Amino acid sequence: MILIYLLKVSACTLVFFTVYQLLLAKLTFFNLNRAYLLVMLVLSFSIPAVTIQNLHEVAATEQQSPAKIAYSNDGFIEQDGEAQESTIGKPVNWDRILVYTYSLILALLVFRMLFMMLRIRMQLQKQTVGQQGVVVLVNKDSTIKNCSFFNQIIVDESLGAIEKHLVIKHESVHVNQFHSADKLLINLIAAVLWFNPVVYFWRNAIDHNHEFLADRETSKVADKKAYASLLLKLAMPAQKLVINSFSKLPLKNRIMMLYKEPNEKLKKLAYLAIIPIVFICCMAFVNREEVFVEKKVTIDGIKNTENKASADAPTIPNVYALKYLSSDIKVNPNANSAFKAIKPILIVDAGHGGKDGAVAALDGQKEKDLNLRAVKILQEEAAKRGIKVILTRTKDEYMKLSDRLPKQEATAFISIHHNATPANEAAPFPGIEVYVSQLNGNIKIAEDLGAGVLSKLKQLNGLEVRDSLKNANLLLLRESKVPAILIELGNISDRKILDYINQEKNIRMISNLILDGFVAFSKRGC
């Protein structure tokens, strides 16, 4: 989630800025301090974006025969036609409200910065009385003077020759060292992290460091006392965040640094403290993804297959054309095989979508979004195994039930849903359930598919799986020309189940077990 990422970024900025204030801020190695402030900003955004996979090996016994086909007694109620929003009580989705609020403030701050830059450009055009190369002379009444704006140096034309020379020398350092790029970067980051107070102190530190650099270079060609007097004479309040002013209040730190003797080079060793701090931040804020390596063994203990979520080379299972495909098998006695090898194709449907949000979870997530997330993960896992998966929808859009039915030849069709408990009703089965329709003409083949998938899902730890198929008079299951099942991935009204489903690693494990059942079904032939 974007807000969690930004909170981690903010935590990194707090750690790195604390180190700067305690160890580096008072040192006279201004170029190194500038590099630190910029590099640590980049690292603050980079570290929380990194994900490290932790591999875990899990042993599982592979069942050689599908689960016994049985049906549970309770039924299923379908909401056909134009779907309506569920009347189940839906809590306020605070996550979405926070994201919208954050995005609105971000947009306003970026607009404000762009508007300020445009306004400065327009004011300069009105107040300019002359120009000498990159030096722009403005009249003494101009509110923008004795500063630099990107590659332009703006000077008050009423200043004396010596004062102009010092101002130009000072602002030339800002221009030549591209300090405007630093200011643009930190202002954009301040807009992104507007809720983080540390970023404003960070912006001031970069601003002060720019002035220390420019003061040091200017003091080489001027008397420090005279230069300090000029700083006091031309001091103005700091109002413009996108320009480098020659002198702006407060001046205490600049005057102190101007007269401070350079630190000994040995003190550069303080920068080595950065290394363990970066390591600690990496350990604390890098994301970790649990990847389970499932080693399957046959009943007699012989190792059979190894299924890893991040397999190096996909293996396409042997799949044979079945009798429900339009190209029925025609046995040729002169042929070597009675079966025609084909590539497995699995059509997967993410239930609901668009205006049909279906039920809502305890944390405000809509079933339609959880369904779409699950099928996309299943598609990713299938791609690693060489299985082609076609999704009926890839985004949040409304589709009629009839439009979801497979329109092409495929090996199987699976519809993914999540269950929920309406208010004041008895809690249904909380775990995973597999549905078929006994009204479908290919019910026996659908039963084989459902039983095979169910037998694999029973190997799952941490989430209960119903041990029998369920019959449901659903349009998708009833009218499908392709063997079809519907899978309920759990009750999102149950906090424990929802916490389990919200973990991506668990959805990937479930997806691989479903694919195991699909592969076993695909290899069966007629």
DSSP letters spanning 105-165: HHHHHHHHHHHHHHHHHHHHHHHEEEEETTEEEE-TT-SS-SEEETTEEEEETTS-HHHHH
What is the number of alpha carbons within 13 Å of residue 175 lying toward its C-beta? 17
> What top-level class would CATH report for the domain 317-522?
alpha beta
| Nearest Cα to Cα of residue 481 among 449, 445, 442, 452 | 442
3-state secondary structure 377-390: HHHHHHHHCCCEEE
| Nearest Cα to Cα of residue 365 among 485, 313, 373 | 373
Cβ–Cβ under 8 Å, residues 349 and 375: yes
Beta bridge partners of 442: none
Beta bridge partners of 86: none
Per-residue pLDDT of the chain (526 residues; tens, 9 = 90+): 688 899 999 999 999 999 999 999 999 999 999 999 999 999 999 999 998 877 766 555 444 444 456 565 554 545 444 434 433 344 566 778 888 999 999 999 999 999 999 998 888 888 888 888 889 999 888 888 888 998 899 998 988 888 999 999 999 999 999 999 999 999 999 999 999 999 999 999 999 999 999 999 998 888 888 888 888 888 777 665 667 777 776 788 888 888 888 899 999 999 999 999 999 999 999 987 666 565 555 444 434 444 444 444 444 444 434 444 443 333 344 444 433 456 789 999 999 998 887 888 888 889 999 999 999 999 999 999 889 999 999 999 999 998 999 988 899 999 999 988 766 566 667 899 999 999 998 899 999 999 999 999 999 988 899 888 999 889 999 999 999 999 999 888 888 988 999 999 999 999 999 999 999 898 765 4
Determine phi and psi for 56, rounding to 5 degrees: -130, 135
* 35: its two tokens: 């590099």
What is the number of alpha carbons within 13 Å of residue 374 lying toward its C-beta? 31
Q: What pLDDT does 43 receive?
A: 95
d(CA 479, CA 400): 14
| Nearest Cα to Cα of residue 24 among 204, 209, 179, 254 | 209
Q: Is the pTM above the cut of 0.85?
A: no
d(CA 247, CA 235): 5
d(CA 169, CA 452): 79
Cβ–Cβ under 8 Å, residues 352 and 396: no
| Nearest Cα to Cα of residue 396 among 352, 358, 347 | 352
| Nearest Cα to Cα of residue 196 among 321, 325, 10, 460 | 10
